[in-house]
């Protein structure tokens, strides 16, 4: 998932979905930020979090993570 404000700030291309996708938090409660409305990354309101990347995505793109500088570099996209 990616936060809508983060996507807009960094000019991600957002493609509207035909229908919204309702999302739930890990405790099964409805997400206060609302539904997913765009793709290719699923865009929603994440609050203070900019982006959530899944294991499948990380395995496919195998980014380099610099924990000290808090940077992620994608060289295989």
Measured CA to CA in angstroms, residue 33 lies from 30, 46, 52, 61 at distances of 9, 6, 14, 27
**pLDDT tens digits, residue range 18-29?**
887 777 777 888
**pLDDT tens digits, residue range 34-60?**
766 655 567 778 888 887 888 887 888
**Which of 5-9, 30-34, 67-71 has the largest mean confidence?**
67-71
Q: How much is the pLDDT for 12?
A: 81
Residue length, the chain?
Answer: 77
Judge whether residue 76 has pLDDT over 70: no
């Amino acid at each position: 998932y990616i936060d809508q404000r983060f996507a807009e700030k960094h000019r991600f291309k957002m493609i509207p979905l035909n229908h919204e996708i309702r999302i739930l938090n890990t405790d099964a409660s409805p997400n206060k930020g609302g539904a997913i409305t765009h793709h290719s990354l699923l865009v929603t309101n994440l609050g203070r979090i900019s982006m959530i990347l899944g294991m499948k995505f990380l395995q496919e793109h195998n980014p380099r993570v610099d924990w000290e500088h808090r940077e992620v570099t994608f060289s295989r996209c």
